[in-house]
Structure 1
Amino acid sequence: MKKAMGMLGRNRMWPKSFGALLWLLSIAFALTPAGTVIRNQAVAYAGGERYLSNEVEVLVRPLCVPLLSPDGTTALPGQEAGVSPGGYAYLPFLLTNGGNDRFSLRLSHLFGPRDWNPEEVHLYPDRDGDALPDPGASPLAEVSLAMGESLRLVLRVKAPSGASGALLLSPVASCPEGQEDRDNWARVVVQPGPVLALQKGMPLEALPGQEVLVVLRVRNLGDREAQGVVATDAPLPLPFVPSSASAPKGRVEYWDGALWAPSEPSGVRGVRLVLERLGVGEEAFLAFRLLVPPGTPPGFVENLARAEGPGGPVEARASLRVLPLYAHHLGPRGNPRALPGGEGSPDDRQAQRGLEGQTLCFAHTLENAGTGQDTYDLRVEGLPQGVDFWWEGPTGTPLGLPLTLSPGESRDFSLCLRPSAPMGFTARVVATSRATGASNATWDLLEVLPASALTLWKEADPPSGTTLRPGQEVVYTLRIQNAFAPLRGARVEDALSPWLEFVEASHGGLWDPTRRLVVWNLDPLPLGETRLTLRVRVREDTPDDTLVQNAFSLRAQDLTQPILSPPTRHPVFGVRLLLRKEVSPKSARVGDLLLYRLTLENPSPSLLTVRLRDLPPPGTAYEPGTAFLGCGASKLPLEPKVQEGLLLWEGLELPGRGRICLEYKLRLLPGAPEELVNTAEAQGLSANGAATASGRAQALARLDLGPFALGGVLLGRVFLDLDGDGVFGKGDLPLPGARILLSNGTQALTDAMGRYAFRNLSGLHQVMLDPDSAPFAPLPLPEGLGEGYRKRVLVQGATVADFPLRVPKGYVRVLRATTLRMGPLSVEKRVVEVAGKALAELRVRSLEALPELTLRDPLPGGGERVFAFGLFQGEEVLAYPLERPILTDPEVRWRYP
């Protein structure tokens, strides 16, 4: 502390708390400024990802702390000064704002026990540090100081001319809110004759490696001359700077630790000024320089000087605060100073080549080259988009930031990068000191190639996903496509599942049974494709539903981390499902329902998810609502999916060693074959993807044709629809001789009643009315195709497809009519005119069944139309065209049994 401590008495002692006070000063200087917002955020790493917590903010409020030194009590004053009667005494003090904001501090003083009352007590600024009021300065009542700012003060006390004895007083520094420092007691003693005053000046603070100027000033403040005065500074607290001592008055002498001499020795331990006399009010000084050695830790260096002779002895103490020297270096691991080139040189750069998606880490070392503890923030600059980064410690754990290092301490860490695309860039890694804001950097150069530059494939025979059986062999092919670079020290490792047995490996692959590894050492791994093969066998005791996975890895000196191949996966299953199928009844007729029962058993202890596939026989159809799941009395409805004639049940759970039953019904349709063969299959999937199937289960039933062995039949009628309702009825005219065709070329002509029939059909067909055989166009109906001459029909049993003909424009006129009645039979005959054409219509009715009925209808121009029926009952309408509208009488006959 560059400060004169005043004139001290012979028995003066410094308080033990003085050093502690100075350390408190250093702590006060480090207070956080008022108004500062302190933000805190936690960082966590999981699964290679970086997660941040919410941010917490704290606002620092103003805190006023006045610090006035040196301290002292009434029993042990901090300093003592002599004064002659009627003269002035000067007491130096140092005022510091130890708060965290600028404050205005009030200055005052207190009196303690005293033998006389001073005529004047004032505090003056002492900016030049000579322990005297600055020239032209006025007394201070208040001082405004910034955070950590200090001001030298001198307390001037004037003694009255008749004073004798001593005076105790203490200056006081107070904050606006009342905080104050008042324990700074000093003693002023009235001394007649010579009065020596000693002042020692030093800078308040210095850095390691700096030189500091020390000035000793001795004055005679008494009323008589002092003879034989010696001012001594020994031992010196710091190394003496050679040839730096000077004194305008008196003689300079040096101490080597044993003797004082006027000549300067090689190692100076002390220095003094020898004065033959010092007149009243006269002043003499000694100046020299000391060196703060490099590496000196921060703290306080105290120096005590002593003046002896008449009016003495007196002491002066000064304190120098050695500031922390903040310096740090960041560089490649083990070379933080990047020697020999230094900061920014090629020695401060690292380069790597890597692959897209691969993590690459650059190792660094941070060194605290200063003399004080410091905290450092790390950041990285120049990263392009698509590059993730994080910090890791030496063991690969997340690095806690910021980093706090003691003097001389080093810390190793890594910057890890994961680029998501091919690129090239230079990253600048920066460490910034929180104490000074100074930064030091190092540079990392990364060239990223596409992931396809080094790819690994794993193939298997049988292919991956295939279900294996115990004892089955598998051949793996390991393929490495290298377009990256020849890889030094390449090592391929394939770890086998415990359920696989090693058989052989190509290219000198070695089997390590302890670690169950197959190892290939390839040094180097060449560019291009490398193929390795490995043959293994599934163990006989492998449990069902075991998933055998296999992958291989590639390591090399040129890779920062191993590369893994995609795995192959083979589920293992050693048993088949047992499927049984039954049908009842064994014989059925068209229209009957057949009941089928499927029973599926699982011999394995593993739970399976089953898919049942059932192929019904031709000529059958699933009857909705008849499918049930259950083997006992409790059954659950379970409708199948019907897809292209198949019945599918999916997602059925089949417990280990368990069974399930499924029942459903099929209806027999016309056209079904005589032998009804129903086939079913089942496939089970385990939790690990193993697939096991059943054999084909069949059930046989036979078709009972019954008395009429007819298949499906397509029936229909062609008629003139007089009432336009689309249905043949009373008054409608049938059209005989019309040609009806199927899409396969089969054709038929309508009979006298306009009827046609196609037998032994089933399924979907197209039926067409030949337009040349129909005198009028078909009546438009929804099921008609095109102009209505074609229809699409699904033949199931007896299926009807009529062709009603549209009534032509105009009118129908009945020209003549007659009725013939004979027993149960009646025949009504009409001659009608339709669109200028004559038609004969006969409506035949019988309430009884008449065998071998024959109806003869004479024609006007000769000849007759004959209609014969093997057995007639009910009503028939017969019609045919006439050349002339002439009515003739019909004749009928039949045979009675």
Structure 2
Amino acid sequence: MKPFSTLFLVLFGLAWAAPAGTVIRNQAAATVEGQVYLSNPVETIVQAICVPVVSPSGTPSSPAQRVVAPAGGTVYLPYRLQNAGNASFDFALSWAQAGGSSFSPSAVRFYLDVNQNGQRDPGEPPVNGLSLAAGQTVWLLLEVTLPNPASGDLFLSPIAACGSAQDSDNYAHIQVGSGPALQLSKTATPAKLAPGEETTFNLVLRNAGDQTAPGPVVLTDRLDTPEMSGLAYVAGSALAARGQLEYTADGTTWTASEPASVRGVRLVLPKLEAGEEARLSFRVRAVSATPGVRTNRAQASGAGGPAWSEATLELVGRYVHYLGPYGNPRALPGGEGSADDRQTARVVAGQPYCFAHTLENAGNVEDLYTLQASGLPARAIGSFQSLDGSPLPDPLPVAALARWDFRYCLRVDTVLAGFTIELSATSVTTGQANRTQDRVLAVLDPAGLLLGKSVSPSGLVVAGTLLTYTLRIENALGDLSGVRVVDRLDPALEFVSASNGGSFDPAGQQVEWDLESIPSGSTLTLTLQVRVRPGTPDDTLILNRFGLTSALTPNPLHSNTVQNRVLTTQLLLQKSVDHPKASYGNRLTYRLEVANPSTADLAVRLVDTPPQGTQYVAGSARLYPAGGGCAGSGEGLEPAWKEGQLVWQGITLKAKERRCLSYQLRVLPGAPQELLNTAQAFGATGAGTALASAKSQALVQLEPGIFAPRGTLVGRVFWDVDRDGRYTQGLDLPLPGARVILGNGWQVLTDAEGRYAFRDLEPGVWTVMLDPASAPFHPLPHPEAMGEGYRHRVEVQGLTASDFPLQAPQGHITPTRSTVLEFGPLRLEKRLIPLPQGYRVVLRLEAREPLSDLTVTDPLAEGGEKVFHFPRLEGEQVLTYDVDQGVLTDPQARWRYP
């Protein structure tokens, strides 16, 4: 990037060269998501500047011209006046003589030298002032009349002025007397050149004295001065009618033969008679260089000299620029608008892609260029950047004959078909633009490139474990070239090996694969083995993923992240009770000792499941300090009761620390013979990693004694006609043959009055269930009911009752007819029960031994039959279905003996 000072100088140079009143406007532009945003404009108005230039220049000590004339004579001094300003101006003409002059002239007049021959010709008008356009040049003759008598020397200079600006250092030496006087004039035609064009210098050497100038008289024109930069001699162009032409290649040695490189031309004359002229001409060509005024000064030496003369010409700017692909701004061989001026690529949605370009300033002037892009679709952003990614200045300054490489980067966030972006570079000076195109053939879905990673073993590991990472690359995106896979290792890992030529970079702690390509539709699997460094602290989390870049995906795509946690061991838990045997009412003291053998601090949660028939003694839990076992007073730590468990939370266990928790349970009446108590410890590290110990149990045998009470559970299953929840004799109907099951697996059938009984039960909470298959109606609400009501939770103490009232049909339920089929081990009873609409058929099957392939067929009154099939029937089964007619038909049954 060019410094700011360079940009300022370019703007200043443009302003100086521009005509007065020109407005130079500068405005920055930025493209964001396809939208162009402009800064506030800055405008500069070029002011009119007057610059008079008179030549040849000279001082009293080093005059440009020398003339010898008799007293009372008249001499003519040729001069040239140029308006070097940027607007038209009126110039006033005057003269002045130096203080060392011996006399003053009798008269001084200015004439226009129309034919530029350095002599006054008829018809050439006198002038006192001139109006010249910007850059215009005129030739003047200064006519000086000497007084009579006069002797000595006169040093006189013409003056051209416009406003406060003037040029007055143009002295000539006029000597009264006789002798030779060399006078030199020089012109350049044309006076303006563009690079590659030529101009002719014409030199006229005149003896303005009244005597012959003896030889040698030498007219020299040097071409290697700084004032002649950008101009080159045209070979073979030097011409002279008389005298000897000579050349120099080094500025010192002169020869009559023309060298390959000419740095100066001179004409050598044997003499120059009074009033005689000698002419020399040659051509120069403008090569690419900085525009501006060039001055060529020639010198005549010999008797009557020296004499000087200057010719000025202007090198004008050549503004040409090209924009094209990187390294080929002219898009050769096709050129502007051809296929060589177009770049193509496939890009991936969400991935940046950069097209590289080169801007060439083929002119001879440093210029500024504005860069623009058009054709960017929605949901896409683009920007101009330097090759290193930094933003470009706007406008962009480029030196003459220089190039600037940059890139246009875009990102499209959605899958699209192809589109074309046209880039243009426009000259701030001329407004001319040069264009190139970037063609996106397609925007591809990044899901076509799947990166997956797995680790074995996974989860918790110990220091020193060998881990195997598997890297899987599935490419359905397209052919990938320049593929680079990088897997950065966690500091807790040390490299062991890698497949497919993968190499380890210790400086970056990463494993690298440089792959030439991955073809479309292929799958590549890489493996990497590492080891967890010995001494890695517990609770260290090891994360790993890999990234992939390619020519199509310059920004890395990453795989999923796999992780391992370093932990050397789990929690240790030990549980004990103070008495192995107990009776009702006893207090049992339990102790939980938990140890943390790892090197990480843990937050511990203890969970204890008390046995059935026990109750926690409030205020009995104590937590003891680390290292002291279960001795001492400890501090109170009450548990929370959650879903039948005692839970202690927030216990801090530092690395290698052991602590003890004690608490008491009371044995309640009805407790089972064996009191099995189970506890578990859960730990969590500071990073949230959870650990759990194996379960620890404590067993106590119950000695209930001779007065230990036993329990009996009785109840009735019945249709509750009045829906009051109680059995009413003569109104409610008992359900005989219903199956009732106890939580320990015991089961009974209700008798003819719907009653059941379970005897000799341990006091406590029991679960009793009515088999839904044996009860054709839904249970009514009951205080002990669980779920749908078929299950009751009953506290058994002594004689305890729990009935199952069932939902009865509307109206009084009476079987209109029943029939019984008994054959061998099978008994089949059929009842017909009226409903508010229709009838319900109830079939009750009882098999006293297993029956295979049993089929029951029940004819229907309206025609057809109901068929029930059992691959194997053992015990009881109740079947129901509804019919419209109250006609009782006789069912049939058949089965197969093995």
Q: Is residue 2:208 matched to residue 1:209?
A: no
8 Å CA contact retained: 1:256, 1:267: no
CA-to-partner distance for each residue in 1:815-860, whole Å, 9 max, x for gaps? xxxxxxxxxxxxxxxxxxxxxxxxxxxxxxxxxxxxxxxxxxxxxx
8 Å CA contact retained: 1:377, 1:401: no
Counterpart of 2:344 in structure 1: which amino acid? A
Counterpart of 1:340 in structure 2: which amino acid? P
Correspondence for 1:316: 309
8 Å CA contact retained: 2:325, 2:341: yes
CA-to-partner distance for each residue in 1:410-458, whole Å, 9 max, x for gaps? 4544444443333333334445556666554433223321111222122
Query: Which SS does the other structure have where 1:485 is aligned?
Result: coil
Question: What CA distance in whole angstroms lies between the structure 2 residues aligned with 1:611 and 1:502?
Answer: 38
Correspondence for 2:684: 684
CA-to-partner distance for each residue in 1:343-374, whole Å, 9 max, x for gaps? 33222222222322333333334445444556
Counterpart of 1:92 in structure 2: which amino acid? R
Q: Is residue 2:182 matched to residue 1:187?
A: no
Question: What CA distance in whole angstroms lies between the structure 1 residues aligned with 2:263 and 2:493?
Answer: 85
Correspondence for 1:451: 446
Counterpart of 1:199 in structure 2: which amino acid? S
Q: 1:338 to 1:457 in 2, by over 3 A?
A: same
Query: Which SS does the other structure have where 1:292 is aligned?
Result: strand
Q: CA deviation at 1:185?
A: 5.0
Q: CA deviation at 1:303?
A: 2.9
8 Å CA contact retained: 1:254, 1:268: no
Counterpart of 1:677 in structure 2: which amino acid? N
Question: What CA distance in whole angstroms lies between the structure 2 residues aligned with 1:126 and 1:702?
Answer: 142
8 Å CA contact retained: 1:209, 1:291: no
Q: Is residue 2:140 matched to residue 1:166?
A: no
Please list every run of 5 or more consecutive structure 2 residues that lacks an aligned counterpart in the other structure: 1-11, 31-36, 225-230, 248-253, 711-723, 728-739, 742-761, 768-782, 784-792, 798-898
Q: CA deviation at 1:212?
A: 1.9
CA-to-partner distance for each residue in 1:565-612, whole Å, 9 max, x for gaps? 223222222211234567899999999999987664432222445555
Question: What CA distance in whole angstroms lies between the structure 1 residues aligned with 2:663 and 2:60?
Answer: 114
Equivalent of 2:61 in 61, 75, 78:
75
Equivalent of 1:348 in 313, 324, 341:
341
Question: What CA distance in whole angstroms lies between the structure 1 residues aligned with 2:462 and 2:279?
Answer: 104
Correspondence for 1:575: 569
Q: CA deviation at 1:500?
A: 6.7
Q: CA RMSD in A?
A: 6.9
Q: CA deviation at 1:209?
A: 0.3
8 Å CA contact retained: 2:482, 2:515: yes
CA-to-partner distance for each residue in 1:670-704, whole Å, 9 max, x for gaps? 998894836343132353x6443223355779999
Aligned pairs, number: 677
Correspondence 1:743-754 to 2 at 5 A: none
Correspondence for 1:335: 328
Identity %: 31
8 Å CA contact retained: 1:298, 1:322: yes
CA-to-partner distance for each residue in 1:29-49, whole Å, 9 max, x for gaps? 479999999999999xxxxxx
Correspondence 1:783-794 to 2 at 5 A: none
8 Å CA contact retained: 1:116, 1:166: yes
Q: 1:33 to 1:417 in 2, by over 3 A?
A: farther
CA-to-partner distance for each residue in 1:759-799, whole Å, 9 max, x for gaps? 999899xxxxxxxxxxxxxxxxxx9xxxxxxxxx999x9xx
Q: 1:533 to 1:615 in 2, by over 3 A?
A: farther
Correspondence for 2:882: none
Q: Is residue 2:80 matched to residue 1:92?
A: yes
Q: 1:137 to 1:259 in 2, by over 3 A?
A: same
Counterpart of 1:316 in structure 2: which amino acid? S
Query: Which SS does the other structure have where 2:354 is aligned?
Result: strand
Question: What CA distance in whole angstroms lies between the structure 2 residues aligned with 1:630 and 1:37?
Answer: 85
Question: What CA distance in whole angstroms lies between the structure 2 residues aligned with 1:128 and 1:482?
Answer: 83
8 Å CA contact retained: 2:366, 2:398: yes
8 Å CA contact retained: 2:52, 2:160: no
8 Å CA contact retained: 2:549, 2:556: yes
Q: 1:626 to 1:300 in 2, by over 3 A?
A: farther
Higher mean Cα deviation, 647-656 or 516-525?
Answer: 516-525
Q: CA deviation at 1:166?
A: 0.7
Question: What CA distance in whole angstroms lies between the structure 1 residues aligned with 2:241 and 2:543?
Answer: 96
Higher mean Cα deviation, 303-312 or 437-446?
Answer: 303-312
Question: What CA distance in whole angstroms lies between the structure 1 residues aligned with 2:533 and 2:105?
Answer: 113
Q: 1:139 to 1:563 in 2, by over 3 A?
A: same
Correspondence for 2:856: none
Question: What CA distance in whole angstroms lies between the structure 2 residues aligned with 1:389 and 1:652?
Answer: 58
CA-to-partner distance for each residue in 1:238-272, whole Å, 9 max, x for gaps? 666699899xxx958894648999xxx99998698
Q: TM-score, normalised by structure 1?
A: 0.55
Question: What CA distance in whole angstroms lies between the structure 1 residues aligned with 2:235 and 2:50?
Answer: 42
8 Å CA contact retained: 1:68, 1:95: yes
Correspondence for 1:200: 186
Counterpart of 2:355 in structure 1: which amino acid? F
8 Å CA contact retained: 2:577, 2:698: yes
Counterpart of 1:606 in structure 2: which amino acid? A
Question: What CA distance in whole angstroms lies between the structure 1 residues aligned with 2:15 and 2:24?
Answer: 19
Q: TM-score, normalised by structure 2?
A: 0.55
Question: What CA distance in whole angstroms lies between the structure 1 residues aligned with 2:88 and 2:706?
Answer: 122
Question: What CA distance in whole angstroms lies between the structure 1 residues aligned with 2:493 and 2:301?
Answer: 99
Question: What CA distance in whole angstroms lies between the structure 1 residues aligned with 2:89 and 2:639?
Answer: 90
Question: What CA distance in whole angstroms lies between the structure 2 residues aligned with 1:686 and 1:160?
Answer: 113
CA-to-partner distance for each residue in 1:40-60, whole Å, 9 max, x for gaps? 9999xxxxxxxx9x9999999
Correspondence for 1:18: none
Query: Which SS does the other structure have where 2:460 is aligned?
Result: coil
Question: What CA distance in whole angstroms lies between the structure 1 residues aligned with 2:90 and 2:618?
Answer: 102
Higher mean Cα deviation, 476-485 or 492-501?
Answer: 492-501
Query: Which SS does the other structure have where 1:570 is aligned?
Result: strand
Q: CA deviation at 1:210?
A: 0.9
8 Å CA contact retained: 1:192, 1:222: no
Q: 1:617 to 1:389 in 2, by over 3 A?
A: farther
Higher mean Cα deviation, 414-423 or 347-356?
Answer: 414-423
Correspondence 1:187-586 to 2 at 5 A: 187=172, 189=174, 198-202=184-188, 203-216=190-203, 234=221, 255=245, 257=247, 290-295=283-288, 301-305=294-298, 314-323=307-316, 325-371=318-364, 380-389=373-382, 396=388, 398=390, 401=393, 409-423=402-416, 424-431=418-425, 439-446=433-440, 447-460=442-455, 466-469=459-462, 476-487=469-480, 509=500, 525-528=518-521, 530=523, 532=525, 534=527, 541=534, 543=536, 544-554=538-548, 560=554, 563-579=557-573
Equivalent of 1:606 in 600, 609, 624:
600
Q: Is residue 2:650 matched to residue 1:657?
A: no
Q: 1:122 to 1:484 in 2, by over 3 A?
A: farther
CA-to-partner distance for each residue in 1:206-250, whole Å, 9 max, x for gaps? 23201224445678989999999999675677666699899xxx9
8 Å CA contact retained: 2:353, 2:409: yes
Please list every run of 5 or more consecutive structure 1 residues that lacks an aligned counterpart in the other structure: 1-24, 44-51, 712-737, 746-758, 765-782, 784-792, 798-897
Counterpart of 1:166 in structure 2: which amino acid? L
